Amino acid sequence: MWYAHSTNLADRSDWEPLRDHLRHVGDRARSFAARFGAGEFGEVLGLLHDLGKYDPNFLRRLEGEGLRHEHSTAGAVIASRRYGPIGKLLAYAVAGHHAGLADGVRDERGDIQRRSLAERLGDAKSIEQAEAALARAQADGLALPAGLNGVPLQGERQHPGFDIAFFGRMLFSCLVDADYLATESFYVQTCRSSAERAGFPDVAALRETLDAYLAGEIAPKADRSALNRLRSDILSHARALADRPPGVFTLTVPTGGGKTLTSLAFALDHAVRHGLDRIVYVIPFTSIIEQTADVFRTALAPHADAVLEHHSAFDEMKLREDDTRDKLRLAAENWDAPLIVTTAVQFFESLFSDRPSRCRKLHHLARSVIVLDEAQTLPVSLLRPCVAALGELVRRYGASLVLCTATQPVLHENPAEKDRSFKGGLPKGVELAPDPSRLFENLRRATITHAGTLADDALAERLAQAEQVLCIVNTRTHAQDLYRILAGRSGTYHLSTLMCAAHRREILAEIRQRLKDGAPCRVVSTSLIEAGVDIDFPLVYRAQAGLDSIAQAAGRCNREGLRPVDRSPTVVFDVADEKHVLKSLNLYADVARGFLRRGRDPRTPEVMEEYFREVYWLKGNDELDRPGILRRCAEGGRRLDLPFASVAQDFRMIDSVFAPIIVPWGDARALVEELRRMAALPEPVPVGRLARKLQPYAVGIPEQIRARLVATAAASVVGGSRFGDQFVWLENADLYRPDVGLVWEDPTFREAGSLIC
């Protein structure tokens, strides 16, 4: 008898037979892949993935001998030898279902430690072991299909090679999730999906709940003001288009137009109408993800638990123990819930990942509605691969995409403007808003002027003279420097990502209350405040940036329309000090400056379209895919030597490598003490729940800065080797200030008060 998993019972009476595990995984993977026409491929992956466990050495390992036995290569070898070219694609998933997807051939840079697929498939010893394992499996009653049909990639091939790699990653997702769930089924004796375990309602139940909320809370307010009537019109118009076939949609609504609830209502209507499974709401910044999730929970009560937030400051892979029992996961890790709220970093880096834990959820994007909030914030250096991935989901995996923003980027190919068209872009979207140009005219709340160049002292003087004012700058250091000049004046605040999320929430609550009370309120912030944060100032200053950023900043000025437009200025200024000029923004700022000088209003859809076309044209196609991901996939696709691992390494939504440090705010200290107690236990324990609780208290800083803080004892690694370097605690509490958050210029600094015993 051959086994897949063991328990503590020496008589093996409840050990899991290997053939049963392979069949269970095959059945699950088939059902997952069938949603995009690849059920047969999924089943074969399941049958082959643990073929290498048909080996006496693995049986001895289960019996407790402590042998290491690599069991993933055998099934990959059989797939590639039995099923031809398509078998090679399957081999990537089988070989990588524990360690991750490999490159087809060794990356020329030589910095990928994982062996390439070619090296694993070409090893003579591995081939011999694979054939022996197959013979044992067949003797055990396992039957494989004789052949497989071709890759089901129908329709136009926008990005040859990339589409094959994308298909391979989706199959990998089906296998990994099926393996995790089947293993969980064995250990906890349940065959239910994570959605069933959590008791999640379906999208129809969520729509019914949302309808009741809109009828009870929103509809009665529709006639109370012109703004409420306009929001009601936008909502009704968008919902009326939910019957349109799945595809690409745009929701181009100015700030204050109610696009959050409108997009949710459309997505639920559209999902119910076309039998789609879930809504995935993708948000650019962690600073607004909780705000959006809270809006959804309020609207969907009593089904608030169906709203699943998934974002993490910590590397999930480093929180795992290499043990089959550690495959037990929550719905957060495979998105088996009806409404997911996640970050753009989590979403897109998963789509290009090589890691089993990150790819596990991808197959759930098939037949879903994906709402991309603030679509203009996608990093330009990765724009073409991001758009290519979205296009694949729409064209071949039955998904619908909603691009939701006040400043709509131009991501479709326009045959009429070949020179300035987005090459290989999305299909032209169906606009869900009624006459966006008219909406922007009706919802114009502020003027936009240019003040020329302002030194910090002159800018601070202007801010000091205003009772209530918001100033948005481009760098965290500029925000801190400007705040220091203003500090001491009543009602002066600083906001940046050097403050943890829990801290920022508290500060924003104070700011909103002061604005409501008419009290002095001067805020210096980075751009985190300008997209999606509901806040209303009578005066806004914005450091020169792209036209989309300026338009978003203007949306924080007179947001509710309570003041005359001509007395609600948004003032754009050039930064005088070169050290505060973000060079990566120079192109966008120059193009925007030209539009402003010509008197073009950046808030109109027509101007925004011209702006994005010019920016993308000036950047050029190579700069829209700086790592060359599409080119490398095209080259590797010819021989199915796909660059999975190296692409995953190069695809980074944020250029700088930031590492989390837990700061002493709120409940952080008590949670870190709990983490230390868990680290001291003799047996490894899962810490995912605790990691999620710690997220609001983490600040992302450059890796070298965090290392310096640890080296000077200003910070310490929690848990030592048990958790790797995932959890770093700021020991020197004086480096985290209530006004500006984390300061690290001198890690040995102590406030005078902290030296008094």
Does pLDDT of 25 surpass 70?
yes
Per-residue pLDDT, 417: 65
User: What does the pLDDT average to over 651-677?
Assistant: 89
Encoded amino acid at 715, one letter = A
603 domain-assigned: no
Chain centre distance of CA 190: 30
Assess whether the previous peptide bond of 302 is cis (omega < 30° from 0).
yes
User: Of the candidates 627, 628, 602, which has an alpha carbon nearest to the alpha carbon of residue 615?
Assistant: 602
Does pLDDT of 527 surpass 80?
yes
Q: How far, in Å, CA of 129 to CA of 112, rounded?
A: 26
Q: For residues 698 and 415, which has the higher predicted lDDT (pLDDT)?
A: 698
Residues 449 and 430 in one domain: no
Per-residue pLDDT, 753: 32
506 domain-assigned: yes
Does pLDDT of 479 surpass 80?
yes
Residue with tokens 């969520």: 206
Average pLDDT, the chain: 88
Which tokens sit at 666? 């709120």
User: What does the pLDDT average to over 534-541?
Assistant: 94
Could you give the C-alpha distances from 126 to 119, 365, 448, 633, in angstroms and in order? 10, 35, 67, 27
609 domain-assigned: no
Q: For residues 534 and 664, which has the higher predicted lDDT (pLDDT)?
A: 664
Which tokens sit at 252? 């181009």
Specify the 3-state DSSP secondary structure of 192. coil
Could you give the C-alpha distances from 193 to 4, 178, 198, 199, 337, in angstroms and in order? 21, 10, 9, 10, 10
Which tokens sit at 572? 């754009």
Per-residue pLDDT, 65: 82
Which tokens sit at 206? 């969520």
Does pLDDT of 87 surpass 80?
yes
Does pLDDT of 278 surpass 80?
yes
Per-residue pLDDT, 755: 34
The proportion of the chain whose per-residue pLDDT surpasses 90, expressed as a percent, equals: 61
Q: Give the pLDDT confidence of 325-373 residue by residue, as tens digits.
A: 333 344 457 888 899 999 899 999 999 999 998 999 999 999 999 999 9
pLDDT-based confidence at 550, cuts 50/70/90?
A: very high
CATH of the domain at 286: 3.40.50.300
Per-residue pLDDT, 325: 34
Q: For residues 720 and 202, which has the higher predicted lDDT (pLDDT)?
A: 202
User: Of the candidates 540, 557, 546, which has an alpha carbon nearest to the alpha carbon of residue 607?
Assistant: 546
Domain boundary (191, 212, 243) is at 191
CB 535 within 8 Å of CB 515: yes
Specify the 3-state DSSP secondary structure of 69. coil
Phi, psi of 498 (to 5 degrees): -80, -5
Q: How far, in Å, CA of 319 to CA of 173, rounded?
A: 20
Q: Give the pLDDT confidence of 690-719 residue by residue, as tens digits.
A: 887 898 899 988 889 999 999 999 999 998
Specify the 3-state DSSP secondary structure of 662. strand
Per-residue pLDDT, 311: 67
pLDDT-based confidence at 255, cuts 50/70/90?
A: confident
User: Of the candidates 506, 509, 504, 463, which has an alpha carbon nearest to the alpha carbon of residue 487?
Assistant: 463
Residues 245 and 390 in one domain: yes
User: Of the candidates 596, 502, 494, which has an alpha carbon nearest to the alpha carbon of residue 549?
Assistant: 596
Phi, psi of 555 (to 5 degrees): -70, -15
Per-residue pLDDT, 747: 62
User: Of the candidates 616, 626, 673, 621, which has an alpha carbon nearest to the alpha carbon of residue 647?
Assistant: 626
User: What does the pLDDT average to over 387-413?
Assistant: 93
Per-residue pLDDT, 312: 61
629 domain-assigned: no
Please give the tally of structural domains in the chain. Answer: 4
Per-residue pLDDT, 521: 97
Per-residue pLDDT, 121: 93
Residue with tokens 């890796």: 703
The proportion of the chain whose per-residue pLDDT surpasses 70, expressed as a percent, equals: 91
Q: How far, in Å, CA of 579 to CA of 597, rounded?
A: 25
Greatest mean pLDDT among 248-252, 314-318, 416-420, 527-531 lies in 248-252
Give the CA radius of gyration of the chain.
27
CATH of the domain at 46: 1.10.3210
Q: How far, in Å, CA of 347 to CA of 282, rounded?
A: 7
CB 448 within 8 Å of CB 550: yes
User: Of the candidates 221, 217, 265, which has an alpha carbon nearest to the alpha carbon of residue 239?
Assistant: 265
Residues 250 and 348 in one domain: yes
Domain boundary (543, 576, 594) is at 594
Q: How far, in Å, CA of 224 to CA of 184, rounded?
A: 53
H and E: helices and strands count for the chain: 28, 21
Residues 681 and 748 in one domain: yes
Residues 587 and 459 in one domain: yes
Residues 89 and 131 in one domain: yes
Residues 430 and 469 in one domain: no
What is the SS3 assignment for 38-59? CHHHHHHHHHHCCHHHCCHHHH
Per-residue pLDDT, 540: 97
Does pLDDT of 191 surpass 70?
no
Phi, psi of 635 (to 5 degrees): -65, -45
Per-residue pLDDT, 657: 65
pLDDT-based confidence at 757, cuts 50/70/90?
A: very low
Exposure pattern of 45-56 as b/e (b: 16+ CB <10 Å)?
Answer: bbbbbbbbbbbe
Which domain does 233 fall in, by range?
203-312+330-408+425-434
